[in-house]
Amino acid sequence: MLEANYSFFHSVEQSFDKAAKFTKWEKGLLEQIKACNSIYSMKFPVKMDDGRIEVIEAYRVQHSQHKTPCKGGIRFSMAVNQDEVMALASLMTYKCAIVNVPFGGGKGGIKINPKAHSSYELEKITRRYTSELVKKNFIGPGIDVPAPDYGTGEREMAWIVDTYQSLKPGEIDSAGCVTGKPVSQGGVRGRKEATGLGVFFGIREVCNMPDLMAKLGLTTGVNGKKVVVQGLGNVGYHSAKFFREHGAVVVSIAEFEGAIYKEDGINEEDLFQHRKATGSILNFPGATNLAKSTDALELACDILIPAALENVINGDNAPRVQAKIIGEAANGPLTPEADEIFTQKGILVVPDMYLNAGGVTVSYFEWLKNLSHVRYGRMEKRFTENMNHHILSQLEDLTGKKVSDAERNFIEHGADEVDLVHSGLEETMITATREIMDIWKANPEIPDMRTAAYVCAINKVGTSYSELGIFP
Ligand code: GLU
């Protein structure tokens, strides 16, 4: 169990301090990087379907404006509090820096249980929250750009952009006030699966590093690796999907109602449909139910992907975790105590603020699309296809041989929006993994990958602050 006075923000600060020792920045600058610049805590009334007035507690925190806009999701959860939003906003700053996305960090939260409200009530809450942000200048394509997070998705983002646009008529770039929108409302193809795909790309890159795998006693590559996923929400679902599609075996999936185990692998889509039909992931055909949901975290496996909420692995259960690699798909799933235990046990923890950066990376692509007012691929797709067709015809004429229809389609295909988004994400995750690993390798004193990731982030944000010259 977590201590009663546990502070998530403090745990982020602890990780920061641990890494700051490996950087050259002066104390004052480090203090500025760590601090949350603006905290907006609000309460507003909403009339519920039964006529009752409920006072809603909500937050938006802008951790850093070293680059603008600030960026980060909005979560709907009863666990929302100022400390949590501050921690998550800080992680966004570091996350954006690591993946070279030119934003400061932000985060929002509304303290509600989305399952306890009708969609009409949720719409009213979301719209009111947005207008509160507009009133205080806490939202805008150049100020602060929210996105989905735990308990929110495309639907909520559509309400946000609509509310914003009705309050700011004629603002030409207004679609860029929020990301994670439906494609019909200015969203980008590939955003929905982005975080899960980024998790996969990140872990695949780590698994492709022979020295590291040898140290962990694993073979290189993701093929055949046993994976356990906690959470069948958007991130967990897509992580499981990409691992399965690339030859890994997803042996267990956990949700809040329980966990299941299936030696020969779980198909996440079948499980999703089963849950939809029965209301639970339990009793999935061919699988065994585990006694408790958290038992999944302690199964023997190669890769454990906590893709639900924070602090699920702590001092209590960490000693029983058997995975060789833990990929933090959620934000803050490990407490510093758990981290310490894994470092000692030689378990590789691939840290959240880099591993789950796929969401914000593709949000960046969506924002760029909104500012440029043109779909990716629109200008070049046809040109590429015509050129590829021409090159292939020339080769066929010169060699006197013909390729198969399937090959022809593959070679001639010009990139669509989703192709470009996926490849931009792949490039981003590979580059970020290598940058962090280079820092770790260059300094053997750095105890773990999280600290190396923080060093990477601190150096980038530090450079940015110092080059701004804002300290008279
Ligand atoms: N909520 C996601 C995160 O924590 C996405 C943020 C965004 O796209 O701005 O990274």
Phi, psi of 101 (to 5 degrees): -105, 120
Residue 65 in contact with residue 104, Cβ under 8 Å? yes
The reported pTM is 0.94
Instruction: Compute mean pLDDT per 10 residues along the chain, 472 residues long, and list them.
Output: 74 94 96 96 98 98 96 97 97 97 98 97 98 98 96 97 97 98 97 96 98 96 98 96 98 97 98 98 97 96 94 95 97 91 96 95 98 96 97 97 96 97 98 97 95 97 84 50
Q: Per the residue annotation, which of 107, 111, 262, 369 is the catalytic one?
A: 107
227 strand-pairing partners: 250, 303
* Amino acid 467: pLDDT: 80
Active site residue 107: yes
Q: Residue 223: its pLDDT value, please? A: 97
3-state secondary structure of 428: helix
Atom number, ligand 1, closest to the C-alpha of residue 91: 4
User: Is the beta carbon of 359 within 6 A of some atom in ligand 1?
Assistant: yes
Find the 293 Cα to ligand 1 centroid distance in Å. 26
Q: Which domains does the chain have, with CATH numbers?
A: 38-185 (3.40.50.10860), 188-380+415-472 (3.40.50.720)
Question: Ligand 1, from 179, 360, 370: best to mutate by most atoms within 8 Å of Cβ?
Answer: 360
Q: Say which residues have a Cβ less than 8 Å from residue 2's Cβ, sequence separation at least 6.
A: 311, 314, 335
**Where do we find the tokens 């849950």?**
275
pLDDT at 5: 74
Whether residue 105 contacts residue 87, with contact meaning beta carbons closer than 8 Å, is answered with no
179 lines ligand 1 (CB under 6 A): yes
> What's the confidence (pLDDT) of residue 470?
60
pLDDT of residue 472: 46
* Residue 124 Cβ < 6 Å to ligand 1: no
62's CB contacts (< 8 A; 6+ apart) are 36, 37, 38, 39, 70, 89, 104, 105, 106, 138, 144
Whether residue 72 has its Cβ less than 6 Å from ligand 1: yes
> Residue 72 CA: which ligand 1 atom is closest?
9
Say yes or no: CB of residue 71 within 6 Å of ligand 1: yes
C-beta 147 within 6 A of ligand 1: yes
- Of 363, 367, 368, best ligand 1 pocket probe by most atoms within 8 Å of the beta carbon: 363
Rounded distance between C-alpha atoms, residue 90 and residue 31, angstroms: 13
pLDDT, position 471: 55
HSE-CB for 84 with a 13 A CA cutoff: 22
Q: Which long-range contacts (CB under 8 A, 24 or more apart) does 449-452 make?
A: 449/348, 449/349, 449/350, 449/351, 450/15, 450/19, 450/339, 450/349, 450/351, 451/15, 451/18, 451/19, 451/22, 452/19
pLDDT at 210: 97
Q: Is 140 exposed, middle or buried (0-12, 13-18, 19+ CB in 10 A)?
A: buried
Amino acid of residue 225: K
Give the H/E segment covering residue 350.
Answer: strand 348-350
